[in-house]
Structure formats: structure tokens, C-alpha cells
Amino acid sequence: MNSDIERQLQASYPALYSHLAPRWEGAPLFECEDGWRAIVEALSLRLMPYADLGLSVTTVKQKLGALRIGIELVPGDRRIEDWTRVDRWIHEATEQSRVTCERCGDVGCMRTEQGRRHPQVLCTQCAKARGCAAP
């Protein structure tokens, strides 16, 4: 995501993203495009209360076209009893990313750009702009 959005997310949910670090020099913190901002924002809001219990987000990235969120618990802290709920929210975010254009946030579907092997969720307009083949 662009660095302004990354800074804003970190500033809004500092405890949640305190362990999030770029995987290499110059890498983005949130390794996906801006269109998924609302999904990440909604999930952050849900996870925020758990940050005080030791939960933090360690990965936000696009993998095989969908949003992947990695979380961890601060070692020794096991007070979170409703893991099922946390798991479900993360799963829902991933499912939502599968139908949300990663570029602009509009309704999209999984497509593959010509000459590339990895799929990406794009709306019709963004797909046209990127020269993607139909799904």
C-alpha cells in the first residue's frame, strides 16, 4: 500500500501493528495494493481489542491473489479464549479480498495479467488498464 495509508493504519492501530516490519529494505509494510484498505481497516477495528491481550499482526500481504493476514501472540500470553472468532474474522477478510479489486476496491474477480503467472483480483476497468485476460 502507499506509505500514507500505511502510516495512517499504523497510527490508528499502533498496538496491533507494532510488530509489523518490512520484509526487506524498502518493502512496503502492507504488501498489497490500496484497494484492500477498507478490508484491512475493518479487520483492524475488530482485532484492536485483542491487541491489549498480546495479539499483533505480523503479516499483511497478497498471496495467490488473496489477502493473507498473519498474527501472533506475545509469548506467555494466552488469555485470548475466543480464537475461533479471531480466526473467522481473518478468514472473512481473505474471502472478501477474493471479490474486491486490489487496485481500487470495487467489485472484482480473480484474473491473470498477460505474461504473468500470478492471479490478482481486479474489477473490469482495472483489468482493462492492466491488460488482463478474462478469468
**Residues of the shown chain interacting with Zn ion in the complex, contacts defined by CB under 5 A:** 101, 103-104, 106, 123, 126
CB of 54 to Zn ion, least distance (A): 36
Closer residue to Zn ion, CB minimum distance, 79 or 128: 128
Closer residue to Zn ion, CB minimum distance, 73 or 104: 104
CB of 98 to Zn ion, least distance (A): 14
- Kindly write down the DSSP assignment for every residue of 37-74, as one continuous string: HHHHHHHHHHHHHHHTTTEEEEEEEEETTEEEEEEEE-
Closer residue to Zn ion, CB minimum distance, 57 or 126: 126
CB of 33 to Zn ion, least distance (A): 9
CB of 46 to Zn ion, least distance (A): 25
Closer residue to Zn ion, CB minimum distance, 28 or 105: 105
Which residues, in sequence order, are CB contacts of 59 under 8 Å at separation 6+? 20, 31, 68, 69, 70
Strand, coil or helix: what is 86?
helix
User: b/e per residue, 25-43, with b = 16+ CB within 10 A?
Assistant: eeebbbbbbbbbbebbeeb
